[in-house]
Homo-oligomer: A and B are copies of this chain.
């Protein structure tokens, strides 16, 4: 950030009075500009014994498989954001959303919320940012072609929990750069 988005003047980077960390402060109007973590919301859509995954058409990780998820917008709830992303990326409708993973990805200042959800029907298709959408059983999940560590975690949690029949919230903090490249299984 180099300029104030309210008045267009230059900003300086220093600790405001009464604060304890540096901020971008406008040299003209004095506005303090805060930078805050962004929230990513998505779904783990279940249909019978299968999970819906999307093949990414955009960077990062183009061509790899992921759960439908994306940045939350102003003016919606976390559940609405998760369902909206599922509709946009997979043209898929979901119900019974239950918070399943909450991951702080500290190095990139993101929080990712994944909701366990029931896929309503089989009328899904590739949508925004997606070239293919498919249902995968535990045996066919493309573990070596998953886009992100958080997605791999959510799927692992799910198949473990399914054996026990309970799906508690998984609360994970990632403090080291997770990389976008999952290890080979």
Contacts and interface: CB of A to CB of B under 8 A. Distances in A.
Interface of A: 1-11, 18, 20-21, 24, 33-39, 71-80, 88, 99, 102, 104, 106-107, 109, 111, 128, 169, 171, 173, 175
B34 A37 contact: no
A11 B3 CA distance: 12
Contacts of A8: 2-3, 8-10
B79 A104 contact: yes
Contacts of A80: 104, 173
Contacts of A171: 79, 99
A148 to B, nearest CB: 17
Contacts of A173: 77-80
Given A99-B169, A171-B99, A109 B3 contact: no
Contacts of A128: 18
B106 A76 contact: yes
B3 A74 contact: no
Contacts of A7: 2-3
Nearest to A109: B74
Given A39-B36, A39-B39, A77-B175, A2 B2 contact: no
Nearest to A71: B36
Contacts of A104: 76-80
